[in-house]
Amino acid sequence: MKSVIDILDLSVEELDGLIKTAMDIANHPDDYAQKCKGKKLATLFFEPSTRTRLSFEAAMYELGGNVIGFSEANSSSASKGESVADTAKVISCYADIIAMRHPKEGAPYVAAINASIPVINAGDGGHHHPTQTLADLLTIYREKGRLGGLTIGLVGDLKYGRTVHSLIAALSRYEGNKFVLVSPNELKVPDYVKKDVGDAAQFIETTDLMEYMDKFDILYMTRIQRERFTDRDEYERLKDSYILTTDKLVPAKKDMCILHPLPRVNEISVKVDDDSRACYFKQALNGKLMRMALIMHLLGHNDGQRFKGTTGEGGHKCHNPSCITSTEQELEHIHKKGQDGVYRCIYCDQPSVGLNSTSNSK
């Protein structure tokens, strides 16, 4: 059985196959109208969502299936203290597949190792958002005709921006991509995102949105996310760091593609919506098509075997307050050495305090 917790749970061949299926769904929707007849999707959303939850639900209905679920933690027994593991075991009795969003990093992973049905990560804290990446990949493919040889500007909150983390992981597997990471110094991409992709991709970091504006094939804007900040003053100081306006687009390529996972607050002026390069509403449509393709793919691979978790070393505590280990009952804290030699928590990917001394970190 396959679950998708990280975009790397899908091979390049699977990503290419999902894109092919999504394009076919767009052209022949009637051929797919009964593909999931008799199947149920459970949407377990412990954090707000418009696009992800509703596009998952629309996707399942358009495949002929049904949907159960909840849209906020307060309407589930999580509000009474039920664990993610128990929730996953119970929902496995009622549904065929789960899409879960949770504010704690690693929560969908905990669900996957406890469920007897496939689990899809619909966004976990500031960590991963693999199905947004599927929407992004299809949009890039439809607009540019390729997923390699691109210069991609990623702008905004790159520290907590889970969509950016998953997109870098996915596009790093295609040849010749260059990433220009545009953020305030306080919101730079975490090391684990860059280091685990190896030497396949090039990275440039800058605080200046305009420095490479004439080079971008893709401009991926993101929101500075108020809900991820513990320091309100820091949020107020950083929230308007980058605002894309029509005048800033003057030096940009005529065929550049402007993406944003949405919701936007003010980081793209509404006037930019009329520019032919603005693709963020197409991206939302593409999200539904890719989620249809993914649901079919995962239901087709349910061999009854449980999702196999990562193995690693126990005995050390994860100190990240946003990690699922901070709230889940009796969850063993496990750490694993990455390609860069650094031990990280298997749930949230934060470096492991106590395991990364000079002597044992490499």
Active site residue ranges: 51-52, 80, 101, 129
Asked if 52 interacts with ligand CP (CB under 6 A), we say yes
* Size of interface with ligand CP, in residues (CB under 6 A): 9
Window 68 to 127, contacts with ligand CP (CB under 6 A): 123
Q: Of 97, 101, 105, 40, nearest to 76 (Cα)?
A: 101
Contact region with ligand CP (CB under 6 A), list: 48-56, 64-72, 76-84, 216-224 = 48-56
Report the nearest approach of ligand CP to the CB of residue 109 (Å): 18
Non-local CB neighbours of 90 within 8 Å, separated by 6+ positions = none
Q: Which of 20, 33, 34, 50 binds ligand CP (CB under 6 A)?
A: 50
166 part of the interface to ligand CP, by CB under 6 A = no
Q: Which residues of 234-244 are buried (b: 16+ CB within 10 A; e: fewer)?
A: ebeebbebbeb
Report d(CA 143, CA 294) in Å as an integer.
Answer: 21
Least distance CB 55 / ligand CP (angstroms): 8
Contact window for ligand CP (CB under 6 A) among 49-57, 200-208, 209-217, 348-356: 49-57
Is the separation of the CB atoms in 43 and 57 below 8 Å? yes
**Is residue 261 a contact residue for ligand CP (CB under 6 A)?**
yes
Task: Tell me the CA end-to-end span of the chain in Å, nearest whole number.
Answer: 34
- What minimum distance in Å lies between the beta carbon of 100 and ligand CP? 12
Element (H, E) at 260: none
Under rule CB under 6 A, residue 132 binds ligand CP: yes
When the beta carbons of 252 and 267 are compared against ligand CP, the nearer one is 267
| Shortest CB 135 distance to ligand CP, Å | 8
Report DSSP letters for 41-86, one per residue: EEEEESS--SHHHHHHHHHHHHTT-EEEEESSGGGSGGGGT--HHH
User: What is the rounded distance in angstroms from the CA atom of residue 115 to the CA atom of residue 109?
Assistant: 10
Contacts with ligand CP by CB under 6 A lie at: 49-52, 123, 132, 261-263
